[in-house]
Copies of this chain bind each other. A is one copy, B any other.
Amino acid sequence: MAGNSFGTLFRFTTWGESHGPAIGVVVDGCPSLLDLAEADIQPWMDKRRPGQSRYTTQRQEPDQVKILSGVFEGRTTGTPISLLIENTDQRSKDYSDIASKFRPGHADYTYWEKYGIRDYRGGGRSSARETACRVAAGAVARKVLGSAIQVRGALVQIGPHKVDRSRWDWAETGNNPFFCPDPVAAGEWAAYLDGIRKNGSSVGAVVEVVASGVPVGLGDPLYDKLDSDLARAMMTINAVKGVEIGNGFAAAELTGEQNADEMRMGPDGRPQFLSNQAGGILGGISSGEDVVVRFAVKPTSSILTPRRTVDTQGHDADILTKGRHDPCVGIRAVPVGEAMMACVLADHLLRRRAERRE
């Protein structure tokens, strides 16, 4: 119960269903005196917004964010920032099929068992539409982080196809509809995903989010570690099934000699790591290196092939999910992953400030 909030000092609470009048988020704990306007948030909303290419759901939502509180004369006041996004494209359609049948792989059955009721229209609360609220909160978090800390995400794998890291170029993520940093892969993915889309199928993906400029010392061992908070954060995103930091699962195959990041004093007189296999976190605390997180997104379960299921009355049934869906939900997960990274860092940045000695 009461699980719709995230963070401790920088804390947000989301609300809203896919087909209700609106969705929104309350960001509490944002420091005062930061410049903040709707125009600061909207670009991130637009980045996540569906319907921008043929590879994402054709639902058309302007996702216009409104600031209802917490900002006065263009600056944050330290009071809660309420952000509201109206739902405008709740297409009226016949929901009788999904009202009575559980879509395999979706949260339909578990919500039904847990709550005894569910708003089945468009997935209700479990819809990926909720992630718009996270992106809005993330935009505020970026203000807290300031310009010295940069959070960027990319799609690094789609189905079995991975990027070639030797071609990695962050600038390329803005040049294709996949947030793909490898222009060659982006081209291949387009063809591959067209096939998936035309078959009414779907496919999984892997997202990588990197934060640069993170100071040493963020993270509170043992149970609010920076990496454990990031793992939790990413795993709260719809359809995410795995999270890893730095070398992640590949570290299982390495020896201690291979995996350790050695150190030397840097030219600036500061300790320097000679590699970053740890993904910027040691003992749960940021090391000053790039914080690197990857997460796996399963293929959406909404496909055009009929699947076996049961209905709310306890009968066997078949279901085929028509309607507007993403052939690869991993694409839109990129800005969501960025937002969650920004929120985790903002929270720990404030916590870190509390430690500062006079």
Contacts and interface: CB of A to CB of B under 8 A. Distances in A.
List the number of copies, as a whole number: 4
B75 A117 contact: yes
B232 A241 contact: no
Q: Please classify how large the interface on chain A is, using the bins under 10, 10 to 19, 20 to 34, 35 or more.
A: 35 or more
B256 A301 contact: yes
17 contacts: A1-B354, A16-B80, A16-B82, A17-B77, A33-B115, A110-B219, A114-B216, A228-B236, A230-B235, A231-B232, A231-B235, A241-B278, A251-B299, A254-B299, A256-B301, A257-B305, A263-B310
Contacts of A3: 28, 220-225
B262 A309 contact: yes
Nearest to A78: B115
A136 to B, nearest CB: 14
A94 interface: no
A242 B236 contact: no
Interface stretch (A40-48, A98-106, A169-177, A183-191): A98-106
Interface string A307-349: 1111000111000000000000010000000000000000000
Given A28-B3, A78-B114, A157-B252, A298 B247 contact: yes
Interface in A8-34: 8-11, 13-17, 20-24, 26, 28-29, 31-33
A126 to B, nearest CB: 5
A66 to B, nearest CB: 8
Interface in A210-266: 216-217, 219-225, 227-236, 241-265
Given A15-B26, A354-B354, 8 more contacts: A72-B117, A79-B119, A105-B256, A113-B285, A203-B256, A236-B284, A241-B248, A242-B249
Given A1-B220, A16-B69, A110-B217, A202 B256 contact: yes
